[in-house]
Homo-oligomer: A and B are copies of this chain.
Amino acid sequence: MAGTQRELVRAEDIPLGVEFALGAYVVTEEEILAFSRQWDPQDWHLDPDVAAVTPFGGIIASGIHSLAIFQRLSVLGLFSGWAVIAGRTVRDVQLVKPVRPGATLEGFITATDCELRRPGTAMVTTYGELRAEGGLVLSAVFDVYVATAEIS
């Protein structure tokens, strides 16, 4: 368990209904192209000429890339301090607006629910948002197994 060496926040101590700011991430065009080349090689994600004549008018990030950026912000900003066992589901990922090269993305998480699943293990539900210049670009709900104090 990740919680053996440091004092990590146990499931029952996670405040519900409180929004955590996770910090910011600037996504470059180079990174957008590299991610899409590896994981989402659709031509309108890769070729500026093709992208120029889409409804977006230019290169946009893969939705999986935006989700990965959100996960990085979540881990560095919050989950690394929690006694996380594993993720279980990702629900309702809304790709609300395109993410463009140079965007500064800010992450936010609110824990909304915590249910004991078996001795030592709770399911914590979180609602996350990624915003660019204050506007929502991605939202998602995550269910994550988090250890309770009993098994520490």
Contacts and interface: CB of A to CB of B under 8 A. Distances in A.
A43 interface: yes
Given A64-B64, A72-B38, A84-B42, A2 B90 contact: no
B41 A76 contact: yes
| Copies of this chain held together in the complex | 2
Interface string A58-87: 001011100111011001100110001111
Interface residues on A, range: 35 or more
A134 interface: no
A129 B101 CA distance: 31
Contact of A89 (B2, B56, B89, B95): B95
A19 interface: no
A95 B84 CA distance: 15
B95 A87 contact: yes
A79 B42 contact: yes
